[in-house]
Amino acid sequence: MNAISVILILCIGITALSTLVMLNSKASEAQKWLFLTSLCVLIYISQNYYHFFAKTEQIYMATQKYIYISTFFMAVGAIIGISEICEVPFSRAAKIAFTTVAFIFSVLICTVDQNNYWFTSVTEIPREAYPGYFEYKVTHGPAFYATNIALIGIVLIWVIYMVVSLANRKGHKSKAIKALILLITVPIIAFAFSFVTSLPTYVTNHVVFVGLDIVMLILQVYFDVTTTSSNAKEQAIDFTSDAMFILTPHKQFRFANASAKRMLPELDWENDDDITDFINECLINRDYYESADRKHYEIKLDPLNEDGFTTGYILWLRDISAQLSTAREEEKVRKAKEILVQTATALVKAIDAKDKYTNGHSLRVAEYSKMIALILGKDEKYIEDLYNMALLHDVGKIGIPDRIINKPDKLTDEEFEIVKRHPAVGGEILSEITEFPELMIGARWHHEKYDGTGYPDGLKGDAIPEYARIICVADAYDTMSSRRSYRDILPQSIIREEIEKNSGTQFDPVIAKAMLFLIDSDTKYTMHE
């Protein structure tokens, strides 16, 4: 068995292995290009075999066409496929341009036997070692040299571009890629020199292309050029704003999208090993991660399964800083309201304690207001805000002298005018609490009347905030159902009659109706001081 037969068998085996790698996974773009290259290598060497043992000039010329066409598409496949694996920018337009150049040269190569630009002369010489076979001595024309120089030039320019692009990259992956590119470069240079020296072209060419096939097989197997790389990458780059890492089955870093690089600028993105260490130390087996700029990310690790096997992982990072910030603000507001309620409760107890006859009045008004709001179908936040307003509705009384509040006799007109100031005073006090500006509503307007005859602003109808209209009814009910210095608790029937009589004048009719429902439901008259 001669050397060419051995090389041909070797290439068939390598191509078969490449095919198995592709068939056992969902082929990625890189893998498709590498498989094209591998097939072209097989075509190249098989045609060289027939070329070597050509019995006629026609067979010799035909095999020459297949050899050159496969060479161009082999170069294009290797350039694009290896660039994909190395994650070196290679635009769609560049891919189309390379493929177009290969197609144009393929069309030109089809004219090999129709002019003298490729071979100026072909001499048929019988082979002594192989009776019945001929060796063809050719004199190459300008098209032959131009085509080979163009092909070698394109490949060398690409090699330089790859070396420059990978110069600053670190980590085991980048080191391996650089070594493989070096392995490709050396035989390419030897291939180029075979045209200007006495190096045996057949041997050199076959060594180059067998070496290229081996390199591509290593790339496919070692770098797992399947769903864990290109396919997942292609889908994730354009369709997610989350950070995404592609990991191997052993959880080694392979790829990160633009969002990941934007979210984690503190990482050395040129060093694959450092990124792998970071992922395993800071992200794997954790639910959350806090970055250097104090942002918070939710972590999710999804396995990539294919035919029952785990072919890799996708690690997701979702920025939840805004949600956490909102949650913190809500918690801050909740705690502030809790403190406010506690402070307000202590304050109203102190205020109510000034009048021995109205102790507990503010707490009861707040409870009655809450009960009315429930009947009206108000939501939880509305009821909570209403309760706090009602609790502090009489805060303005803090400025009224004790002698007036506790006077057992009827107030003079002058004293009553002083008492009437407490809504405005209370509104001014509570307006200072800028965190909860709505608190002042109940304090300022709970003495307004539906017909506009109330105080301090003489508001009428719906111009009175609904909160204040509810507190007004609750306040009036508690005043009538509590003891005073000049009377005892009024009978429930009298209170009901008063509220019904003043519906539409002092009270909002809808709210008064809700209060009447509460009174009618309280058959044992438990709602009193």
Q: Is pLDDT larger for residue 198 or for residue 62?
A: 62
Assess if residue 529 is contained within a domain. no
Q: The CATH number of the domain where 450 resides is what?
A: 1.10.3210.10
Assess if residue 248 is contained within a domain. yes
d(CA 390, CA 341): 11
199 has a pLDDT exceeding 50: no
Neighbours of 146 (CB within 10 A): 12
What tokens appear for 27 in the block? 């082929």
Assess if residue 526 is contained within a domain. no
Q: The CATH number of the domain where 73 resides is what?
A: 1.20.1070.10
For the stretch 83-142, pLDDT in tens is 777 767 677 788 888 788 888 877 777 777 677 777 777 777 776 666 666 676 777 788
437 and 497 assigned to the same domain: yes
160 and 179 assigned to the same domain: yes
| pLDDT of the residue at 5 | 55
Domain count, the chain: 3
Q: Treating both helix axes as pointing N-terminal to C-terminal, what angle do 142-166 and 172-193 enclose, rounded to 10 degrees?
A: 160
Residue given tokens 């785990």 in the structure block:
310
| pLDDT of the residue at 268 | 83
d(CA 24, CA 122): 47
528 has a pLDDT exceeding 80: yes
Alpha helices in 87-137 (DSSP H): 92-109
51 has a pLDDT exceeding 80: no
280 and 209 assigned to the same domain: no
d(CA 220, CA 226): 8
Question: Any bridge partners for residue 318, and if so which?
Answer: 298
Among the three residues 267, 299, 319, which one is the final residue of a domain in this structure?
A: 319
The whole domain housing 196 covers 3-225
Assess if residue 371 is contained within a domain. yes
| pLDDT of the residue at 477 | 95
Q: Is pLDDT larger for residue 78 or for residue 456?
A: 456
399 and 464 assigned to the same domain: yes
Provide the percentage of residues in the chain whose pLDDT is more than 70. 73
67 and 144 assigned to the same domain: yes
What tokens appear for 235 in the block? 């889908």
Sign of CA dihedral 57, 61, 66, 67: positive
Q: Is pLDDT larger for residue 284 or for residue 229?
A: 284
Q: Is pLDDT larger for residue 471 or for residue 6?
A: 471
d(CA 214, CA 195): 24
214 and 255 assigned to the same domain: no
212 and 244 assigned to the same domain: no
| pLDDT of the residue at 138 | 72
Among the three residues 203, 225, 247, which one is the final residue of a domain in this structure?
A: 225
442 and 361 assigned to the same domain: yes
342 has a pLDDT exceeding 70: yes
**DSSP codes of every residue in 210-266:** HHHHHHHHHHHHHTT-SIIIIIHHHHHHHH--SEEEEE-TT--EEEE-HHHHHH-TT
d(CA 420, CA 444): 11
- The candidate with the shortest Cα–Cα distance to 26, out of 220, 227, 221, is 227
129 and 194 assigned to the same domain: yes
What values do phi and psi take at 426, rounded to 5?
A: -60, -40
For the stretch 167-198, pLDDT in tens is 776 666 666 666 766 666 666 666 656 555 54
Phi-psi group of 235: left, alpha or beta (phi > 0 → left; psi -120 to 50 → alpha; rest → beta): alpha
Mean pLDDT of the chain: 78
Residue given tokens 């060398």 in the structure block:
156
354 has a pLDDT exceeding 90: no
221 and 347 assigned to the same domain: no
Assess if residue 528 is contained within a domain. no
Assess if residue 87 is contained within a domain. yes
Taking residues 268-295, report their average pLDDT.
83
Q: Which amino acid, one-letter code, is at 369?
A: S
Is the whole-model pTM more than 0.95?
Answer: no
Among the three residues 276, 296, 319, which one is the final residue of a domain in this structure?
A: 319
Q: The CATH number of the domain where 305 resides is what?
A: 3.30.450.20
Taking residues 262-268, report their average pLDDT.
83
285 and 371 assigned to the same domain: no
| pLDDT of the residue at 522 | 93
Provide the percentage of residues in the chain whose pLDDT is more than 90. 20
Assess if residue 161 is contained within a domain. yes
36 and 112 assigned to the same domain: yes
Assess if residue 236 is contained within a domain. yes
| pLDDT of the residue at 1 | 47
For the stretch 213-259, pLDDT in tens is 676 666 666 655 444 444 444 444 545 678 888 887 778 887 788 78
Residue given tokens 């913190």 in the structure block:
328
d(CA 389, CA 446): 10
The answer to whether 442 and 370 are in contact (CB under 8 A) is no
